[in-house]
Structure 1
Amino acid sequence: MARVVSGRIKWVFGLGCLLFGSSSAMASEINIYSYRQPFLIKPILEAFEAQSGIRVNVVYVRKGLVKRLEVEGAQSIVDLVLTADIGPLYALKQARLTQPVKSSVLRENIPAKYRDSDSQWFGLTSRSRIIYTSKSRLSADAITRYEDLADSRWKGKLCSRSGKHKYMLSLVSSLILANGETATEQWLRDVKANLARRPKGNDRAQVKAISEGVCDVALVNSYYFGKMLTNERKPEQQAWANAVRLVFPNQSDRGAHMNISGIALSRYAPHREEAVKLMEYLSGEQAQFMYAQGNFEFPVRANTPRAEIIETYMRSFKEDDLPLGRIAAKRKQALELIEKVGFDD
């Protein structure tokens, strides 16, 4: 396990022992478990420290966060959990590892669809799982809905990462809610039949495949476009981004599927007051702009300036208003359908 100390924030990588210190540490501090990467949250937390005088300690966790908090139980000294997806937030609530936060600031800054109905988790940024298409081989209106991916005219022209990945699970869960389980199972079968290759790689790999002519269409999170287009260290990724067109699906009906990065207050948080202050700070305009700008995501707070690339290439679009809690509740069914049809085989 490698430990890096930056300023007054401790960054701990891996799944080893928790190095926050003892529970008798000074009260004016906050302990965080984070699935979000340091490059995203470090500048924001340092700004909060400077403004509030509250020390922030962060352990960066790659996986197993829910189990880790279960094992720690009432002895846990973790105050907040930062996630990159709705799934862990929902799982934490189901495991009774979170507690409600009644804050008028959070309710004002974060739309209802991006926070738990019981105030046990809150979205901080949003992103959409959209359709990327070949700019040179397809017209702008060639495909407009998620449902269109099942059309046989796309046979041999689709690429996808594993259906079991969290981003795909959320999308399939939203389709179950929109169209029903039977229709979604058939959709998965038809999409599988249209694949140009077995599902593999991450989201960037799907965009690369389009640029190389392996396929013409793929499902990819919206923010990867900005990350690739600005990647000066790997200019080949800029070429991939320039080869695709972004399609926000279902604009004539329910809107494009949305997901979030988010935050929750731990059930046993020893520094509750300080932690709520940080939650409210992260929902404010300055932090919202910094957070979303760092990863080309969308701020959840209304009227917050967005990254220039988003304004240029994504502008405004219709979002699916399905509450994320309902979508997360369908993940088990989504996984069962994906395994039933052998999507990854």
Structure 2
Amino acid sequence: MSNKSFKKGLRHPFAFLALAVLSATFLTSEAQTGSASINIYSARHYPTDEALYSDFTKSTGIKINRVDADDAGILTRLKAEGNASPADVILLVDAARLWRAEVDGLFLPIKSKVLEDAIPDNLRAKRTDTGGIAWFGLSTRARVIVYDKAKYKKSDVDTYEKLADPKFKGKLCIRSGSHPYNLSLFGAMTEHLGTTQTEAWLKGLVANMARNPAGGDTDQIKGVASGECGVAVTNTYYMARLLRSTNTAEKEMAEKVGVVFPNQGSWGTHLNVAGGAVAKNSKNTDNAIKFLEYLASTSAQNHFANGNNEWPVAKGVSFDNPALKAMSGGSFKSEVLPISAVGMNQIKVQQMLDRVGFK
């Protein structure tokens, strides 16, 4: 079965009905030909990642069959497929989704000295029952504040808490509260501030909104650049894309806004993590682990930074991305929270969002 037909088959609305047959045929074919391969379910739909996949295959001879979907779609698919799932590696781009998948038992805890030596403790999920690691963070995105440089200065928005200040009434732009990026940020704020203070803060954000939450992070940056908003929240890699763009309009837009890495004087800027795991029912566990180990290598970590403007997480890895360095000044303090703590706050966060009317 070709990569193309494999992807297409799993996107079909009736794919699950025939999945056991499809996966059995696919895996039997691999056994007959003797070729090594892994099947990846990926929420990383970035064209620049193609180089990662091709480099891995060139260096190991292991072929990659990939299914692209969003995080929620991948988790739904894995649950529906059950034991018949052909997935070997799962790549997700949000802390809350990684936590949810772990809780739902969709990952196979593994042991890898390479990964454990490379990835910091707070960016991996150790299972006390098996001693293995359920998933590993592979890159991060800082959730920063952008502001209208003509109207405000950095000190006006140097903490997340200040976004709820009444002086920003009618000035805040932000995407949907239920988007995973915001759920993770709000889950982290709950861990730092407690439920009562976080709910009051969320109520302040609603009161300060310039418009109903809509669009993605780039749309929030555009809102600030156009004057529709005064401040907004975005992940760093969206801003970095604009800074590195060859499009004149996009570069001009980026030049109109300032960037703040919040809470440098307290717990640090919130990071959202993109991570990977071996699928619970993987038929190619050893090769799946090899792929995750490859993603923690210096070359792959540099690709995350230079190819998709993400922060590398492996210890000792340096990078040369002018946009990331320009935004951060070369370094910044990031919060250090167990992802499990952020994930466990998701239900409380959603209830708070409902109570304060954050759409």
TM-score (norm 2): 0.89
Check whether the contact 2:40–2:91 (CA below 8 A) recurs between aligned residues.
yes
Q: 2:317 aligns with which of 281, 299, 304?
A: 304
C-alpha spacing 1:14/1:39, structure 2 compared with 1 (3 Å): farther
Which residue does 1:159 correspond to in 2?
Answer: 173
State the shift of 1:228 in Å. 1.4
C-alpha spacing 1:38/1:138, structure 2 compared with 1 (3 Å): closer
Alignment of 1:14-163 (within 5 A): 15-16=11-12, 17=15, 22-26=26-30, 28-62=36-70, 63-118=72-127, 119-163=133-177
| Cα separation, 2, equivalents of 1:282 and 1:112 | 17
Which residue does 2:288 correspond to in 1?
Answer: 275
Tell whether 2:341 aligns with 1:326.
yes
SS of equivalent residue, structure 1 residue 339: helix
Check whether the contact 2:3–2:66 (CA below 8 A) recurs between aligned residues.
no
AA in 1 matched with 2:335: D
State the shift of 1:236 in Å. 2.1
Which residue does 2:256 correspond to in 1?
Answer: 243
| Cα separation, 1, equivalents of 2:210 and 2:97 | 31
C-alpha spacing 1:198/1:38, structure 2 compared with 1 (3 Å): closer
The alignment-based identity, stated in percent, is: 34
Tell whether 2:356 aligns with 1:341.
yes
Structure 1 residues 235-284: Cα deviation after superposition (integer angstroms, max 9, x where no partner)? 32222211111101111110001111110111110000111011101101
C-alpha spacing 1:294/1:14, structure 2 compared with 1 (3 Å): farther
SS of equivalent residue, structure 1 residue 260: strand
AA in 2 matched with 1:178: H
Check whether the contact 2:184–2:346 (CA below 8 A) recurs between aligned residues.
yes
Check whether the contact 1:13–1:61 (CA below 8 A) recurs between aligned residues.
no
Q: CA RMSD in A?
A: 1.9
Check whether the contact 2:144–2:259 (CA below 8 A) recurs between aligned residues.
yes
Check whether the contact 1:14–1:61 (CA below 8 A) recurs between aligned residues.
no
| Cα separation, 2, equivalents of 1:13 and 1:37 | 18
Alignment of 1:220-235 (within 5 A): 220-232=234-246, 234-235=247-248
Check whether the contact 2:99–2:339 (CA below 8 A) recurs between aligned residues.
no
State the shift of 1:181 in Å. 0.6
| Cα separation, 2, equivalents of 1:274 and 1:235 | 44
| Cα separation, 1, equivalents of 2:315 and 2:9 | 34
For structure 1, which runs of at least 5 residues remain unmatched after alignment? none
For structure 2, which runs of at least 5 residues remain unmatched after alignment? 128-132
C-alpha spacing 1:244/1:42, structure 2 compared with 1 (3 Å): same
AA in 2 matched with 1:120: A
AA in 1 matched with 2:11: L
AA in 2 matched with 1:94: V
Alignment of 1:187-266 (within 5 A): 187-232=201-246, 234-266=247-279
My pick for the range that moved more, 266-275 or 88-97, is 88-97
- Structure 1 residue ranges, 4+ long, deviating more than 4 angstroms after superposition: 9-14, 18-21
| Cα separation, 1, equivalents of 2:9 and 2:26 | 19
Check whether the contact 1:12–1:60 (CA below 8 A) recurs between aligned residues.
no
| Cα separation, 2, equivalents of 1:157 and 1:101 | 47
Which residue does 1:172 correspond to in 2?
Answer: 186
TM-score (norm 1): 0.93
| Cα separation, 1, equivalents of 2:197 and 2:253 | 33
SS of equivalent residue, structure 1 residue 164: coil
Structure 1 residues 276-326: Cα deviation after superposition (integer angstroms, max 9, x where no partner)? 011101101001111232211100012323222212222200000011121
